[in-house]
Structure 1
Amino acid sequence: MKIALLHYRGGLMDGVSLEMEKWRRVLTKMGHEVDIVAGNEKEGVDVVVKEIGFENPDFETVNRNFFGGIEDFADERSFMDFLKGKEEELFQILDKKLIDYDLVVPNNVWSLGLFPPLGLALARLDKRFIAHHHDFWWERNHLIPKNEKMKSILERYFPPDLPNIKHIVINTIAQKELKRRRNIDSIVVPNVMDFSKPITSEKMYRVVREDFQIKPGTIVALQATRIDRRKAIELSIDLVSTLREKLVMRRGERLYNGDLFNGEVILVFSGICEDELYLEELLEYASSKNVPFMVLSYEVKKDTTLFWKLYNVADFVTYPSILEGWGNQLLEAMVAKKPIVLFEYEVFKSDIKPSGLKYASLGDRYWREKEFVRVEKSVLTKAADDLSQILFDSILYRNIVEHNFEIGKKHFSLERLEKILAEEVLT
């Protein structure tokens, strides 16, 4: 088959772009011809349709008025006329752009509804669809329209219930909620990674750390998520602060890799920044807690290959996110063979934890103090205790990361994706 994987953007480091690349790789291996169709010009995007991209001025106009309240139009009726015009325009464009494809896989277009005319136009095409839902609009408060008419459009058409559409979700919570809200059946396809080989090595660990002038014997915590408030990165700062206090008397002891601990624990940011104000707040907070940090987000934005390379600097990976549809950075840490400390968000508890993953926990309860997420001090202390045991015990360290790698290989690999696609999705 000739297959189009469609999204607003592609070729980037966001979760949807990364999953589309994995789907393309697996589907190509299965013998299909696969293109990524997106609204941005980027390496990895095969067919550019600028009209569906975030940079399209109409996208911003629709988004602002649909979700935030009608401001740029005389009244609701004039905005509805504008939406219908955009829908017809997109229908004509996509009818031509997608004519040669046997199967179209829209990613998040029918679930988040960020650009409703696009979703409505796609639903009119005489095509076979697999709707890949990574997140849903009802899971994001800012994507619930203030206008009741607009909200009713999402409730009725996003996602659409049509005989030519098969629905895919990435976790069992979403599967149950989609059935409850829309009476739509769906197949769970988890996010996956390539577990054919790890993405780190002892040699690269030393080379990359030297490149970034990280001294031998320094413990590095890697925060690889995008810099966004729902990632609750302040918890990583709290954890590193607690760990530094706990390890103050262990300077000179031998770490898991044979190096002598020099007394330093630092936090490295490698994820692309999507909230500059939040980053400023984090850096100010880290300074107030005496937590040394390195921000490599801008270097990664210039060269995305650096993102994967930076897993080599880590002694462990922090994953404090309080809300995830799945958890790409968690899988990346497993492939990188690094210990993980994480907050037990709902999807983790329902879909990942039962696999038997070993990790240091930040608990599953939090509260907010102003803009920051907080957990109990006792939880941070326990997580720091668990990490200190792992970091100074070579056998324990190796056993944990190898165990997690094998768990990932069994449940969350490209081979697992191929099996699900062949047996459940493409049938």
Structure 2
Amino acid sequence: MGKRIGFVSTRFAGTDGVSLEAAKWSEVLENSGHRCFWFAGELDRDPERSVKVPEAFFLHKTNQAIDVQIFGRNRRSPETTQAIHDLRAYLKERLYAFSQRFSLDMLVAQNLLTIPMHLPLGLAMTEFIAETQIPTVAHHHDFFWERTRFSVNAVGDFLRMAFPPNLPNIEHVVINSAAQEELALRTGIASTIIPNVLDFENPPATDQMDTHAFRQRIGLTPEDYLILQPTRIVQRKGIEHAIDLVHQLRDSRFKLLISHEAGDEGYEYAEWLADHARERGVDLRLISTRTADRPDRPSLWELYAHADFITYPSLYEGFGNAFLEAVYYHKPLLINRYAIFVRDIEPKGFDLIVMDGFLTRKNVHKVRDVIENPELRKQMTVHNYAVAARHYGYATLRRRLENLMATIYGVNG
């Protein structure tokens, strides 16, 4: 019998990894006969199945005021503790109302009990789960100990309580084997690995006319090659390597496009990248992808469809959605051997152009060969799609979620 499942996080909107993976989980669960509902501070889900609580958004002014008092320092005031408890109590009330309104059987906490972007909401969720004993899946994307900004804090007591909580009615899910080991080492909590996935059972539709029109719109000629860096402008993405690649190709037909504008983490880095590109004579373009208030912009998926080659020279990733997306759109790519790639992805047998911390002449020659040789490009991308479909498709997600449900409810659900 299908369950009524509530997804909870600070945000379910846009193209961040948590929002995207939550949407994939809900799609697979709905297709298996369950019904999904949403609770967050920022939402773009069906309003008939959602509860939006602005105070639950991590950028809400009340939460930001608390953050300033608890991170980057090792002592907090009684007033700060009281502010945390006040917001926690309010959000717990709203969680009770959410559960009652939709008669929920189960919860999925999406990164909410993993990283303290919203400490009071994590505490509220932990207390709600403990008080109700509602079956819960805690889906962990990136833990607080993986981020230096949380390493100095005045809330060690709260972090040990709720990030993540060790409660008998919670099944924990991580996205890679390193996180599984570290979680067990630090907390004694066992977890299941469910990697990020894409719907490889349904290949994307591409339209050559759309691609031609898009290239014209951004001033490219039919002879130009579009190299896409499909990431936010954050230093750990290693975007300077993409600039160096285009520089070393030494051909003005190669244009580099970054798919996201700089955010709070990236303004200085973005300026440095622009200077770096200018000094090397690289045609670098930044383009904002579509948002709810800017529907005229291209979507990230359109950019993949229009690109000739993908660069992904990240220094660190929790998994690597952009890698899967490039493979899904049958695009060849250059990838840096970040730790999770080496451990979890590389052994699967993908055919990729791989750099190991620095760009070699061999890398540059292989990129040129793949871009200019359609037969080689097709051979590489068809092979990669088949490998990804086997390991990172919806079938994998469906099977592992069924196993989780069986653990929680018994074989018959």
Cα separation, 2, equivalents of 1:166 and 1:43: 25
Q: Which amino acid aligns with 2:24?
A: K
Match of 1:212 in 2: 218
2:395 to 409, 412, 415: 415
Q: Which amino acid aligns with 1:113?
A: P
Q: How many percent identity over aligned positions?
A: 32
SS in 1 for 2:11: coil
Match of 1:161 in 2: 166
Match of 2:39 in 1: 37
Query: Aligned in 2, Cα 1:359/1:81: closer, same or farther, shift over 3 Å?
Result: same
Cα separation, 1, equivalents of 2:207 and 2:351: 21
Match of 1:124 in 2: 127
Match of 1:226 in 2: 232
Match of 2:146 in 1: 139
TM superposition shift of 1:400: 0.1
Query: Aligned in 2, Cα 1:78/1:36: closer, same or farther, shift over 3 Å?
Result: same
Cα separation, 2, equivalents of 1:19 and 1:68: 30
Match of 2:98 in 1: 97
Cα separation, 2, equivalents of 1:140 and 1:361: 26
Cα contact 1:108–1:132 (8 A) shared by 2: yes
Cα contact 2:74–2:152 (8 A) shared by 1: no
* TM-score using structure 1 length: 0.87
Which sits farther off after the overlay, 203-212 or 20-29? 203-212
Match of 2:247 in 1: 241
Q: Counterparts of 1:151-190 in structure 2 under 5 Å?
A: 151-190=156-195
Cα contact 1:300–1:307 (8 A) shared by 2: no
Cα separation, 1, equivalents of 2:298 and 2:110: 24
Match of 1:271 in 2: 260
Cα contact 1:270–1:300 (8 A) shared by 2: no
Give deviations 1:270-303, integer Å, cap 9, x for gaps.
Answer: 1243233322221121111100022112666823
Q: Which amino acid aligns with 1:7?
A: S
Query: Aligned in 2, Cα 1:310/1:414: closer, same or farther, shift over 3 Å?
Result: same
Cα separation, 2, equivalents of 1:40 and 1:178: 28
Match of 2:58 in 1: 54
TM superposition shift of 1:88: 1.7
Give deviations 1:148-177, integer Å, cap 9, x for gaps.
Answer: xx1243134310000111100000100000
Q: Which amino acid aligns with 2:279?
A: S
Aligned residues: 392
| 1:354 equivalenced with 2:361 (yes/no) | no
Match of 1:256 in 2: none
TM superposition shift of 1:264: 1.2
| TM-align CA RMSD | 2.0
Cα separation, 2, equivalents of 1:183 and 1:407: 33
Cα contact 1:271–1:300 (8 A) shared by 2: no
Q: Counterparts of 1:237-386 in structure 2 under 5 Å?
A: 237-244=243-250, 248=251, 263-274=252-263, 275-297=266-288, 302-303=294-295, 306-363=299-356, 365=357, 375=358, 379-386=359-366
Match of 2:385 in 1: 405
Cα contact 2:289–2:300 (8 A) shared by 1: no
TM superposition shift of 1:306: 2.0
| 1:64 equivalenced with 2:57 (yes/no) | no
Match of 1:424 in 2: 404
Cα contact 2:58–2:64 (8 A) shared by 1: yes
Q: Which amino acid aligns with 1:87?
A: R
Which sits farther off after the overlay, 381-390 or 292-301? 292-301
Match of 2:411 in 1: none
Cα contact 1:199–1:308 (8 A) shared by 2: no
Q: Which amino acid aligns with 1:83?
A: I
Cα contact 1:219–1:315 (8 A) shared by 2: yes
Give deviations 1:167-202, integer Å, cap 9, x for gaps.
Answer: 000001000000000000000000001111135354
TM superposition shift of 1:203: 4.5
Cα contact 2:58–2:118 (8 A) shared by 1: no
Which sits farther off after the overlay, 211-220 or 233-242? 211-220
Query: Aligned in 2, Cα 1:387/1:179: closer, same or farther, shift over 3 Å?
Result: same
* TM-score using structure 2 length: 0.90
Cα contact 2:256–2:284 (8 A) shared by 1: yes
Cα separation, 2, equivalents of 1:159 and 1:205: 45
Query: Aligned in 2, Cα 1:267/1:385: closer, same or farther, shift over 3 Å?
Result: same
